[in-house]
Each structure stands twice: as structure tokens, then as C-alpha cells.
Amino acid sequence: MQKKISSWEILAVLLCSVVALVVIPCLNAFVPETSALHISNFSINLWGRYFCYAVVAISVDLLWGYTGLLSLGQCLYFALGGYMMGMYLMRMIGSLGQYHMPIPDFLVFLGWTRLPVFWKPFASFPFALMMVVLLPGALAYVFGFLAFRSRIRGVYFSILTQALTYAACLLFFRNNILMGGNNGFTDFKYMLGYDTRSASTQRGLYIISGVFLLLVYIFCKWLTGTKLGKVQRAIRDSENRVLFSGYAAGNFKLFIFVVASVIAGLAGALYVPQVGIINPGEMSTQNSLEAIVWVAVGGRGTLVGPIIGAIFVNAFKSWATEAYPDYWPIFLGGMFLLVVLFLPGGIVGLVGHIVNLFKRRGQPPVSSSDTYAPTASKPPTAPAVTGAPLPPK
């Protein structure tokens, strides 16, 4: 049964969308720079990136908050999507590179005179877009199929995703796979005929990112409201009971895993033209874990949480890396510790808690089945249930 969406929520989403997608771009484009209301190109670009981060955060939450799969490799799919878009953008540079050759500069540098075969189709935007969806999706499908088939779960799944990401990161650092090596792709010029460096293109990308975020939000809202969403949460809370009830939990997990990866890949594809660079550093474990921080801080098991978390943490990061560059990792680590130890519900959970305090109803902070309730996730004692001695933890 689909949960009723409150009119408050619709109103809030509408309001945010209008402000973010209409008012802010207008303030950037039509208000003169001298005005106090003007929004700079820099801010537009920054917020465009935040939207991409928010999409990644939603995809992490779809896995972690809703299905209980903590993937430490979500940035792998993000970066793969980014690389596919990057290949298209590299082709669009044409002969405008430093070497004035019809192939990307780094290939000239590596001694190539002709385009490698797999680079050829990337001149077409629809092909690149297809690859943005296909490559992360296919990789997630293969990896997920293998992992879920052998019932790798919990922390083992996390560690394996981390290993996969690490392997991919090492691979992309190599020059001889012809993906730019250490430096990755950069110096983009044109996208679909528009100059990627111009303010209007950046504004367009910002709007596209915002719309994409909105669509992902609506899609996930719908998805988690369906019966599939119910099974998803049931897997999170007790996978064995789902199995005993006759559901093929692995297939559900695989589906969610692929969907989340495709979403992350698309976010990466939108992200790359906005930052103008993609390199293997995007795949580091650190980035994947940062995405998890966004979700944890915002509040997992909700869809608003990841968005709030991604924007809040990144805004904080932008400020802190400038004001206290040496202490940013300490802030980040501390934030993580704080949230995990004291605020399992994140910002959204905290707000819910405060609201409940005001209402004095004595109910748990956020009562709906949406929220992740860590303490309830596993029965504390197993012997009575399984009738066998507990295997060592």
C-alpha cells in the first residue's frame, strides 16, 4: 500500500524547486552584478555540484538507508559515469588541444597518432549518454550478481565494494588503459555545441542538475512507496525472514544496487562538465565514505536527509577547507563520530525529535517505517531463535 504523501511535503518540494530552478537562475542571469540580489556564476556552479552530490547521496541512501547495503564504492559508479561523459567532452575538444591534433592531448603525449577504436563512438552524444547508463549499470550488475549470489552481506559486502573500488582506482591510474592516467580528462571546451566554460552553459547545467535531482527524488519517493520498497526495508531489517517468506532477496538487492549505480553514474556525468575535470582521485575510497557521511549527517532512511546532508556537509567543507585547511579532515572525522555515536537519525532525526518534544506525544522520534532504527535491526540474542550455539562474532 502506498503511503499518503502529505500536502505539506508536496508544498515544500514545490517551493524549493521553484526557488532553486527558477528564482536563483533568474537572479544570476537577469539581475545586474552590482545588485545585492545577484547570484554569482561561482555560486551557481557550486550549487550545481552540490545537486550532483545530493543525487549520489540519495543513491547511497537507497542502498544503505533503505536496503541495509553499505556500499563503500558508490563513487566508483559516479566516476565511471563521469569518465564516459569525459570521453565525449574530450572528443569535442577536437583539434583545439595543445598539440592541435584531432585526438586528445594525452594520447598524443603517449605517442598515439590515431584514435583507439573504443574512443571512436564517443563523438556521438547519445552513445556517450548510453554508456553513462550502461557501464556503471553493467558493472554493478556483474558485481552485484556475484556478491548476492554467494550471499555476501553486511560488512563483507562493504569490504568487497571497497576492494573493487580500490582495484578500479589503481587501474585508472595507469596510462596504458588510455583513459588519461593520473591526470584524467580536463580542458573541456564544448558540449553539444555550447561552450562549457561560459556562464550560460553553466547555468543550464545547474538547472539540469536541479531538475535531475528533483526527478531522482520523485522516482525514489515512488519506488520506496511501492511493494518493492517494502521488501527493500524488510531485507534491511531481517533478510533471513524475507528469505523464509519466499522472496528472492538477492534479486531485490541486485535490482536496487543496479538502480543506485545508474543514478550515481548519471550524477557523475552531470558533475564532470561542471567541474571541468575527472581523474582517478574521484574513485578513492575516501570519496565514497564522504558520500556516506552526507547520508549519515542528513539522516538515512529518508529521502530529504541525503539532500540536506550533502548540501550541508559540502557547504561546511567549502567553508572549512578555506578557513581551516589543516583541520578539515578532523572536522569531517569528528562529524562522522558524532553522528554515528549520538545522532543515528542525522539532522532529519534530530528535527523530528525536537518536533516530537514540542508535541509531547511520547512517540519515538520519527515514527514511520521509513527511518532506519539501528537498535531494532537485529535481535540481540540469537540462541533462542536459532537453537544453536552462536557462532563467534
Partner 1 sequence: MTTPPPCRAAGAFRQLAGFLSFCVFLLAVAVSARADDSAATRQLLCKAIQSEGDEQLKIIASLADSNSDLVRKVLVAWPNDGVFLIDAGDGTKIPVMLEDAQDADGKQKAVRIDTGDYLKDATGKPEAFFANDLDSVDSDFRLKKVIKNTLELMTLNDPDAETRRSVVMKLGMTQNPAYVPVLQARVAKESNPMVRTALNDAIAIIQLKDPNPAVQIPAIEHLGSVTLIASRDVLTAVVQDPASTADEVKAARQSLSMIEAHIARVDFFGTLFRGLSLGSILLVVALGLAITFGLMGVINMAHGELIAVGAYTCYVVENVFGSGLWLSPFGFSFHIPGLNRVGWQFQTYFIFAIPAAFLMSALVGILLEVTVIRFLYRRPLESLLATWGVSLILQQTFHLVFGAANVQVDSPSWLSGNFTISDVILGYNRLFVIGFAVVIVFLTWLLLTRTPLGLLIRAVMQNRNMAACMGVRTEKVNMLTFAFGSGLAGLAGAFLSQIGNVGPNLGQNYIVDAFMTVVVGGVGNLFGTVYSALGIGTIDEILQQVFGSPVVGKITVLVCIILFLQWRPSGLFATKGRGLES
For binding to partner 1 (CB under 8 A), which residues are involved?
Answer: 68, 70, 143, 146-147, 149-152, 154-156, 158-160, 162-164, 166-167, 170-171, 173-174, 240, 285, 289, 292, 296, 326-327, 329-330, 332-337, 340-341, 344, 374-375, 377-383, 386-393
Q: What distance in Å separates the CA atoms of residue 209 and residue 48, rounded to the nearest whole number?
A: 6
Q: How far is CA 241 from the centre of its chain?
A: 29
Nearest partner of 225 among 368, 348, 365, judged by Cα: 368
Residue 234 Cβ vs partner 1, minimum distance, rounded to whole Å? 15
Q: Based on CB atoms, which residue is closest to partner 1, 65 or 210? A: 65
Shortest distance, position 80 Cβ to partner 1, whole Å: 16
Minimum separation from the CB atom of position 324 to partner 1 (A): 11
173-179 contact pairs (CB < 8 A, 24+): 173/280, 175/110, 178/107, 178/110, 178/112, 178/116, 178/118, 178/119, 179/83
Which is closer to partner 1, CB of 101 or CB of 343?
Answer: 343
Collapsed DSSP state (helix, strand, coil) of residue 190: strand
* Contact between residue 267 and residue 210 where contact means Cβ atoms under 8 Å apart: no
Structural contact between residues 139 and 50, judged by C-beta atoms closer than 8 angstroms: no
- Which lies closer to partner 1 via its Cβ, residue 29 or residue 164? 164
Q: Which is nearer to partner 1, 174 or 361 (CB)?
A: 174
CA distance 166 to 350: 34
| Helix, strand or coil, per DSSP, at residue 195 | strand
Angle formed by the axes of helices 74-93 and 285-298, nearest 10°: 120
* Joined grid coordinates for residue 330: 578532523
Q: Give the nearest distance from C-beta 73 to partner 1 in angstroms.
A: 11
Q: How far is the CB of 209 from partner 1 (least distance, A)?
A: 27
Q: Tell me, what DSSP letter sits at residue 176?
A: G
Pick from 202, 204, 216: nearest CA to 306: 216
Smallest separation, CB 373 to partner 1 (Å):
11
Q: Which is nearer to partner 1, 274 or 314 (CB)?
A: 314
Which cell numbers hold the place of 334?
Answer: 569528528
Closest contact distance (angstroms) between CB of 163 and partner 1 is: 5
